[in-house]
Amino acid sequence: MDIRHRLSANMKRLRKAKSWSQEELADRAGLHRTYISGVERCVRNPTITVVEKIAVALGAGYDELLG
């Protein structure tokens, strides 16, 4: 599994564990809902800055998102 698919799967798992919608995650990360959707569908290639915003919003470490 490539890193985009690992990021996608881990984002979805962590987001759903909090019972958050994509919109809720986007709001907490300071991103647009369609961007979160694109990352989760592996059609976007997020920068490390975006990965950091997502990690902070989810209260997760980088290893949890990318590992």
Domains in the chain (CATH in brackets) are 3-66 (1.10.260.40)
Q: Identify the pLDDT of residue 1.
A: 79
Would the CA dihedral through 53, 38, 18, 1 be positive or negative?
negative
Distance CA 22, CA 1 (A): 23
Confidence band (pLDDT; 50, 70, 90) for 3?
very high
Predicted local distance difference test score (pLDDT) of residue 28: 98
CB atoms within 10 A of CB 44: 16
Q: Tell me which residue has tokens 């919003």.
A: 57
Task: Give this prediction's pTM.
Answer: 0.93
Give per-residue pLDDT as tens, 5-61. 999 999 999 999 999 999 999 999 999 999 999 999 999 999 999 999 999 999 999
For 15, the token pair is: 């987001």
